Amino acid sequence: MSQAPGAQPSRPSVYHERQRLELCAVHALNNVLQQQLFSQEAADEICKRLAPDSRLNPHRSLLGTGNYDVNVIMAALQGQGLAAVWWDRRRPLSQLALPRVLGLILTLPSPVSLGLLSLPLRRRHWVALRQVDGVYYNLDSKLRAPEVLGDEDGVRAFLAAALAQGLCEVLLVVTKEVEEQGSWLQAD
């Protein structure tokens, strides 16, 4: 199909959910999987399965607004036939075999505020990174639109900066086969 003269090549369609309540874990899952597969209700059901006898569920906010923990993310991915592998921050990022990784989910510290008042607390904020048509994107639900990270070097630079801040953790989203083979890791 030919383009009209002077037309710009179209950018790939990148699925990106925006932040609502404390549902960043749900948004990160959907963003990394590039489709709406999970909802607050689905995440709440996972919480109930993880702690069926708990009156106050330890895997989500007491207020019922989200703020899901890593166990919910891991169970959600397992339900899709995928796995989450913790990245050991002591390893050099050059050992990360990005072509074998479907996407990444990071937890970053996020400040807590009440209106204009900033509180001395930190909460976790889940962020997805994903390659679409050869380009890596930061799919943080707090962003208005996906942020282009570029190629593998761009992702590694982003990860290095996030990990250097301290309280960041990285989950690799991979197929079960890649998890079992350990092929998300390459020799340095």
Residues assigned a catalytic role:
24, 125, 140
**Which neighbouring-strand residues pair with 172?**
85, 104
What's the chain look like in SS3? CCCCCCCCCCCCCCCCCCCCCECHHHHHHHHHHCCCCCCHHHHHHHHHHHCCCCCCCCCCCCCCCECCCHHHHHHHHHHCCEEEEECCCCCCHHHECHHHCCEEEEEEEEEEEECCEEEEEEEEEEEEEEEECCEEEECCCCCCCCEEEECHHHHHHHHHHHHHCCCCEEEEEEEHHHHHHCCCECCC
What residue has token string 């699925």?
A: 15
